[in-house]
Amino acid sequence: MGHGKLKKFAENETFRCLLQPDASSVLAKPEGSKELILRDHDIKGHWNRDMFAKDQPIVVELGCGKGDYTIALARRHPEMNFIGVDIKGARLWKGAKEATEENMGNVAFLRTRIEFIDAFFGPGEISEIWLTFSDPQLRGSENSRLTSPLFLQRYHRFLKPNGIVHLKTDSRFLYEYTMSVIRENNLQVLAFGTDIYRDGVQTGYPSENRRFATPPISDGQKDTLPELPDLPAVFEVQTFYESMFLKMGLPITYVAFRLEHEGEGFKYPTDFDAAYWREAEGPRRSFSHQPSKQ
């Protein structure tokens, strides 16, 4: 391990805004069992009390990398608290250092595997989730995609009623997969676009297509519905990789939807043609590739 990483890891220990729990704090092996089970961390249900300067709605970014998006959103919305989650401590160092130096009381970071997320957030504790340029898992397990029914069920346990999930990605494969999951579960779309910097973002689905129509909202739900997302932020806040993808000429997609539905669990999509969209996406470009000079 390089000296630079060791220095970052040491400095991470000094950042109050960065929580780095040991795996042993959320994994337990019941007596007589050979399998580990997930157990709640002490922070679960207490983020506003223990990590933030004010008790405010909380937004989580999963797979936040260096924390650029988390920090930028927190600057735009001082009336909200933001948590960036990633497993890489060397990446989180940048965001945690910036938040510490600027004394940002509405920013925190969590170093953990996203598969352990249930252990850290209590029922109704989170208002919104951002998924920014997640691994599309083109050839991996469907359950590894962060918009799979497995993950949506996890999010549903800690999101507020009608909480919002945002997906912003350069992967048309992941975008179309997510749209299939949305259709299968009759979730309400708030905004979407397949090339947002060229064509902008539309709100809701076209009403003439019944299958894609926005589900009706009952009178009893109206008081709990959050307003439309901060759509200008979708364009004005960019990750490091997003800026790189734009220079390469790659279209950026976006969808925001409410994670509220009837019934037990979330259904897997039946109309997603993985082979077609995998082929349409082509080989994933390496981050080291440069845009063509034409």
Give pLDDT tens digits for 64-115. Answer: 999 999 999 999 999 999 999 999 999 999 999 999 999 999 999 999 999 9
Q: Is there a domain that residue 203 lies in?
A: yes
- Residue 203 to residue 207: CA distance in whole angstroms: 11
Q: Residue 262 sits in a domain of what CATH number?
A: 3.40.50.150
Task: Please report, as a single letter, which amino acid is at residue 20.
Answer: Q
Model pTM above 0.85: yes
- Residue 170 to residue 157: CA distance in whole angstroms: 28
Check residue 290 and give its pLDDT: 40
Q: Could you tell me how many residues make up the chain?
A: 294
Q: Is there a domain that residue 290 lies in?
A: no
Is pLDDT larger for residue 293 or for residue 237?
237
Count CB neighbours of 16 within 10 A. 10
Q: What pLDDT digit, counting tens, does each position of 111-142 carry?
A: 999 999 999 999 999 999 999 999 999 988 99
- Residue 276 to residue 155: CA distance in whole angstroms: 28
State the DSSP code for 75.
H
**Number of independent structural domains in the chain:** 1
Q: How confident is the model at residue 229 (pLDDT cuts 50, 70, 90)?
A: confident
Q: Is there a domain that residue 65 lies in?
A: yes
Q: Mean per-residue pLDDT for 231-251?
A: 90
Is pLDDT larger for residue 10 or for residue 230?
10
Q: Is there a domain that residue 155 lies in?
A: yes
Task: Please report, as a single letter, which amino acid is at residue 119.
Answer: A
> Can 271 be counted among the known catalytic residues?
no
Q: Is there a domain that residue 239 lies in?
A: yes
Residue-number span of the structural domain to which 193 is assigned: 3-281
Catalytic residue among 42, 50, 55, 135: 135
Q: Mean per-residue pLDDT for 161-165?
A: 92
Q: Is there a domain that residue 294 lies in?
A: no
CB 106 within 8 A of CB 81: yes
Q: Is there a domain that residue 289 lies in?
A: no
Q: Is there a domain that residue 37 lies in?
A: yes
